A and B are shown apart, each in its own frame.
Chain A
Amino acid sequence: MSLLRVSKRAELPQGRVALIRTAAVLLSLAAAAAALAAFGLNPLDIYGAIVEGAFGTGMRARQTVIKAVPLIITSLGILVAFKMKFWNIGGEGQIMAGAFAAAYVALYHGDLPRPLLLPLMALAGMAMGGVWALIPGLFKAKLGTNETIFTLMMNYIAIKFVEYLQFGPWKDPEAGGFPKIAIFPENAVLPNILGVHAGWVVALAAVAAVHLFMNHTKKGFEISVVGESAETARYAGMNITGVIVAAMLASGGLCGLTGMIQASAIDKTLGVGLSANYGFTAIITAWLARLNAVALLFVCVAFAVLLQGSAYIQLAMKVPAAVAGVVQGIILFFVLGSEFFLQYKVSRKGRV
């Protein structure tokens, strides 16, 4: 530190900001490449295979979209909470809670006509996901409890509960002793639109809805203000508890919706693997998108490419799909680090 001097810099022009961020992402890909090479893998082959695996055939491209859908909707949920500086890392549990409620409707009221059943499942999923997020939200509002740990513990509780159902009361008697929950009736499965299940339409609508909500409604504005400073919000006469309730219902509700979509369209039942880490990946995507709903759409598609491509290289090249997790982490590390260069200037001593 002695040879270098760090000082605050004035606001940078938009172009420079974009340049620094792009450089950070490119550098992170280079660093990930170096890490892959260190494990004896050829990074160019891997990157090539990821793209190939994500777009190579129509089927793979559809798989990429299918992976983008839950990521987009969950990330939107995380976005709403993070805007309020409420560190909701309970996406996994909220997805599970939503999937549970949707599965309850599907399994016990599966004889309802589809146009009624599917919206009912979605509503139940959103309500349950919302409640799952609201519990830590209320404790935060009333007692100032640490929401990071609370929401995370709610993940394990939701997963254990689904495990309990799967091995206990909801175990399918027709599965020959195999611990699984019954497959949903036909009516409870989302139909396809243009070759991919209808979740993609829901995801696009959710991007628009969250964008409008955060930027053009009073509640959305209040969420941002509470995030900036609870003091300011209180001074301005906002009902902070009310804002937290609204934000957490929206945040958990979106995650719950993801749970309903995954249960209905992908698994066609409820199972412990359903949340598939989307709740955690969404933290990265929401942050990379700088909590902007439109940017989030693009980041999530890019990450879906990474996820689908990694699933493909596991099959094609016998490289563990977990490589995606490593690359995601590296990208976010670089982007986090790059923020420093947007705010501060490093110069040699004596030449400021």
Chain B
Amino acid sequence: MESFLIAAVAASTPLIFATLGELVTEKSGSLNLGVEGMMLMGAVVGFMAGFNTGSPAAALLGAMAAGAGGALLFAFLTVSLRANQVVTGLTLTIFGKGFASFLGQPMLGLVEPKSVAAFFSKKGIPFLEDIPFFGPIFFKQDVMVYAGYALTALLAVYMFKTKLGLNMRATGENTAAADASGVNVTAHKYAHVIFGGALCGLGGAYLALVEVPVWQSDVVVGRGWIAVALVIFASWRPVKAFAVSLVFGGLSILGLRMQSLGLHISQYLVDMLPYLATIAIVVVSAYRNRKGDLPPGDLSVPYFREER
């Protein structure tokens, strides 16, 4: 049980990064459905940078830059050129898939160098790791897991306790009103879309660098889409997003675990679980949405000052 929970926390980390990334993006008013694509871009560039330089910092920076680059494209098209956000996001996903398999094809089967793997190995936090039960599960993990905790806390404070965070939420709730009160709405949208993209890139990189440090063709397999669903399920709140990501991290490794326990259920059927559960949560979220818990007011509405 304990080993399952330890693995579940690690498996939830890419979801945490991607979900928080999309959450920030949506809170500022943009619905970027390119999460899957940005994760793939982050994964391939992160792996490539790590493989060629042997530096974990380069790998993480590369992944963030790739995710941010995809998001910048999205922001330019949807914020400046007011293109349809749904279609632009889908295009970003398709583009990211092509980009990752194009760059990744020559790297298939390559293994990340030891210097990178060592950086991402599990290291316990002194004292905390000795807490019974919770210690080994939460505090004997790799650096990215800890970064995920920190990020969740920082984002919660930023969004709900700072002026910048307030302006960001105002931009997403009612762009025209935020604009009228002197908030630079264009800058807010660009900044948060790009920041969100960088987080998605990190989430993808985790899959390629930590979870399986060997390059494979599609490492993300739908996690980007699950992240989009988790944002809704978490009612756009960082701490809730963290919690639901943990649950889904557990679901995603259930198939493998059940096999090792000798349960005779087809692995392929158990592998459907995260996807079925995602459907369940979009249904539940839709049902709940009828009683409050609404998305940001101006989510995915293009803004044009002269049309106010």
Contact = CB atoms under 8 A, between A and B. Distances in A.
A329 B83 contact: no
A139 B284 CA distance: 11
B35 to A, nearest CB: 11
A271 to B, nearest CB: 14
Contact of B229 (A146, A332, A337, A339): A146
B268 A168 contact: yes
Contacts of A155: 222
A7 interface: yes
Interface string B100-113: 11100110000000
A329 B275 contact: no
Interface residues of A, number: 49
B94 interface: yes
Q: Is the contact region of chain B dominated by helix, strand, or loop, or is it mixed?
A: helix
Contact of A337 (B77, B186, B279, B285): B77
A20 B216 CA distance: 40
Contact of A329 (B95, B290, B306): B95
Interface stretch (B85-93, B133-141, B156-164): B85-93
Interface residues of B, number: 53
Given A329-B95, A337-B81, A340-B81, A149 B101 contact: no
A8 B306 contact: yes
A15 interface: no
Interface stretch (A62-70, A159-167, A207-215): A159-167
Contact of B283 (A143, A156, A330, A332): A143
Most buried by A among B90, B106, B276: B90
Contacts of B86: 87, 148
B106 to A, nearest CB: 8
B98 A153 contact: no
B289 interface: yes
A305 B265 CA distance: 43
A319 to B, nearest CB: 9
A274 to B, nearest CB: 16
Contacts of A326: 95, 98-99, 102
A224 interface: no
A163 B225 CA distance: 21
A160 B269 contact: yes
A145 interface: yes
Interface in A123-149: 139, 143-146, 148-149
A156 B272 contact: yes
B266 A168 contact: yes
A320 interface: yes
Contact of A336 (B84, B266, B279, B286): B84
Contacts of B100: 322
